[in-house]
Amino acid sequence: MLLVCIGAMAPCVPISNVAGGDTLPSVPEFSGTLIKRVNGKKSLAHVYAKGMRIRLEYRDAVRTEAGFAAIEIVRPDLAEIWYVLPQQKHLLVLPITDDTLSIRPELVGETCRIAVGDATAAGRAARLFDVQTDRHGHLERFYQWVDAETGIMLKLVSQDRDWSLEYERIRISPQPSMYFEEPRGYRKRRIEADQRRRE
């Protein structure tokens, strides 16, 4: 359940969803490009989504605890993130964290959501929200664009630091299930949350 602020000093009250209907639509299948900007640096990935599962194919490989990976698979149903390491033929398995990409509009630690109005993002009709979060005492505000038809998050921009992510060239279409499964011939290598912190 999401919260919305009626005014700057008013308490937040529950609403059923960010799109304005009675229920959030089922999560669509889509593909597109994800652009992330952090402190002036930009990274790009082709993204595929099927339900809550996400596959990211990075333009530039990302560094992991076990080497570089160009493919990341997010499996919320298993509470896991998989990094495909082709040189080692390993599938690096990590637990999902608060920072894991999600297509749902709800933000971790969300305390307040204000509807700003209608907008456009990724070439699609959207609703713009001002969202406040509190994560372990760290307060942050975001502008968030949510697709008016599907309810997926299209763009998220921090109001407090140089950080943003957004989708481009979204195409709503069925995605192959194999994109989100373990590649054949790969061995799983697990890294737990506490082990990840030590490394």
pLDDT tens, 128-184? 999 999 999 999 999 999 999 999 999 999 999 999 999 999 999 999 999 999 999
Distance between CA 171 and CA 37 in Å, rounded? Answer: 22
Quick one: tokens of 13?
């009250």
Cα 114 to Cα 132: distance, rounded to the nearest angstrom: 9
In this structure, what token pair is assigned to residue 18?
A: 């960010």
| 45-55 pLDDT tens trace | 999 999 899 99
Where do the structural domains in the chain lie, given as residue ranges? 8-198
Dihedral of the CA atoms 52, 55, 60, 61 (nearest 10)?
100
Confidence (pTM): 0.82
Report the alpha-carbon distance of residue 107 to residue 194 in Å, rounded.
23
20-60 residue pLDDT tens = 433 345 778 999 999 999 999 999 999 999 989 999 999 99
Choices 2.30.110, 3.30.1690, 2.50.20, 1.10.3470: CATH for 8-198: 2.50.20
